[in-house]
Amino acid sequence: MMDCNKVREIVTSARDGGLPTDGTPAGDVAIALAHAGECSSCASWIDASERIDRSIRIGLAREIPDLTPRIMAEWDSARQQGDIPLTTRLSLMIVAVLNAGLAFMHLAGSGGLFGVQTGPHSGAELAAFELAVAVVFAMTAWDGRTRGRMAFMAVISALTLAGTVRDLVMGSTSLVAEMVHLPVLVGFSLMLIVAAAHGSPRGPRNLGYRSDALPQTP
Amino acid sequence: MPAPGDKPDTMESVEILAQAARKGDRRAFERLARECQPAVWRYALSVVHDQELADEIAQETWARAVRSIKRFRGDSAVTTWLIAIERRVIADVLEALRKRPPLKADDDQVVAEAEEFPSASVEIGVLLNDLPAEMRDAIVLTQVVGLPYEEAATALGVKTGTVKSRVFRARELLVDAYREVLPAREAEEAT
Ligand SMILES: [Zn+2]
């Protein structure tokens, strides 16, 4: 004798197509179906659960927004990020290494090679600056993203360029000494190329989370 | 992997599309997106009961899918893989929501949620909402998204038998609640 609960579970799970793999013996299914045919309580329960399944489908089957254009925009942005030419990546990596080298040069107090005379304190600050720039170039070489980094690099490059031009015009420095700024300017130009060629890949999206939409059941 | 009773041709072609998309086929991914959007969106709606938020969740799910399709090896069905991604998105979204103070009183919220469901199925929306989350997930994934028990189990990270018992337990609760809500219609049937 099979109890009503077991009958209901077997019949509804058979309806879901769950039976072939769940190890229920075929004989049990036949017994359950026979029971459901005779037991009015089971018949009514199974009927109600069928109606509920339908209602759930209808309840959630409203007009679905077509997100395809937005999805494909994501696709394009993701593909483009992976498509930065190897030469651009390598060049960015090289300027990153050059900037890191400059950082160590400043730390070691050997900036004098380029006529940059610094004390230990401003030497450390220059090193921090060169290292930060090196990290930005390395990150861009790695992931091809420029968003959020361009403003930082634009300010640095503009100030560097302005300072270099001023110093050259005033004759207070030599072209050789100003070579020290070349990696920053070259790196920034490479980032401009990356940004122009690949649009502006998005960073983390700001989802418009609304706290009034919190579900009742977590 | 065919879904019993659910458009086996489509399901199979989605798997083929996924393999093409994995190799960078844009058109294949576009077709896959069109095919699988209803499942992703409806599952979101079943959890949050808010169309705008469901849009956001679906969008973010696809954004993550785009970025991880290269690593999709077809160990599970495409829909299962998408739902697994979506569950992580939902967890992130709910986490973000909890950190903010509610804008509305709770009563307004319940009303707003009930209104999200078409009038014909208001009761079922409320009933579904009253289910424990794991039972609601089991019933929505199998009945609305159309996943076979095994695939729903993969998406939820539980055993197939667990899905089966959760679906049945959900049905028991829903039938009981349904009969309470609609005593007139069901009175003569309940013995
Ligand atoms: Zn019975």
pLDDT for res A117: 58
Average per-residue pLDDT in chain A?
A: 80
Residue among A51, A67, A212 whose CB faces B102 most closely: A212
Say yes or no: A89 and A135 in one domain.
Answer: yes
Say yes or no: A100 and A185 in one domain.
Answer: yes
Q: Angle at the Cα of B138 (from B135 to B142), degrees rounded to 5?
A: 145
- Distance (Å, rounded) from C-alpha B54 to C-alpha B44? 5
Say yes or no: A186 and A92 in one domain.
Answer: yes
- Distance (Å, rounded) from C-alpha A78 to C-alpha A81? 5
Q: Confirm whether B3 is domain-assigned.
A: no
Select from B191, B69, B41 the least CA-distant residue to A60. B41
**Tokens, residue B142:** 């199998």
What's the pTM value of the predicted model, to 2 decimals? 0.60
Q: What is the mean pLDDT of residues B1-23?
A: 69
Domain that holds residue A129: 83-198
Per-residue pLDDT tens digits for A33-85: 999 999 999 999 999 999 888 888 887 777 788 999 999 999 988 876 666 77
Q: Name the more confident of B31 and B107.
A: B31
Say yes or no: A102 and A49 in one domain.
Answer: no
Say yes or no: A53 and A123 in one domain.
Answer: no
Question: Which residues 176-205 of A have a C-beta within 8 angstroms of B?
Answer: 205
Per-residue pLDDT tens digits for B111-157: 444 444 443 345 666 778 889 999 999 999 999 888 999 999 999 99
Ligand 1 center–CA A28 separation, angstroms: 14
Domain that holds residue B41: 8-102
Q: Does pLDDT of B108 surpass 80?
A: no
Other CB atoms within 10 Å distance of the CB of residue A170: 8
Q: Confirm whether A124 is domain-assigned.
A: yes
Confidence bin at A168 (pLDDT 50/70/90): confident
Q: Name the more confident of B1 and A9.
A: A9
- Distance (Å, rounded) from C-alpha B78 to C-alpha B84? 10
Q: What is the mean pLDDT of residues A10-34?
A: 81
Q: How many distinct helices (H) and strands (E) make up chain A?
A: 9, 0
Query: A170: distance to nearest CA of chain B, Å?
Result: 52
CB spacing of A61 vs B42 below 8 angstroms: yes
Say yes or no: A135 and A33 in one domain.
Answer: no
Beta strands in B12-169 (DSSP E): none
- Distance (Å, rounded) from C-alpha A41 to C-alpha B87? 37
- Distance (Å, rounded) from C-alpha A125 to C-alpha B155? 51
Q: CA B31: distance to chain centroid?
A: 20
Contacts of B127 in chain A (CB under 8 A): 52
Q: CA A40: distance to chain centroid?
A: 56
CB spacing of B132 vs A59 below 8 angstroms: no
Confidence bin at B164 (pLDDT 50/70/90): very high
Q: Please name the residue that has the structure tokens 């058109």.
A: B27
pLDDT for res B180: 78
Residue among A65, A207, A218 whose CB faces B93 most closely: A207
**Tokens, residue B126:** 């409320």
Contacts of B165 in chain A (CB under 8 A): 9
Query: A71: distance to nearest CA of chain B, Å?
Result: 6
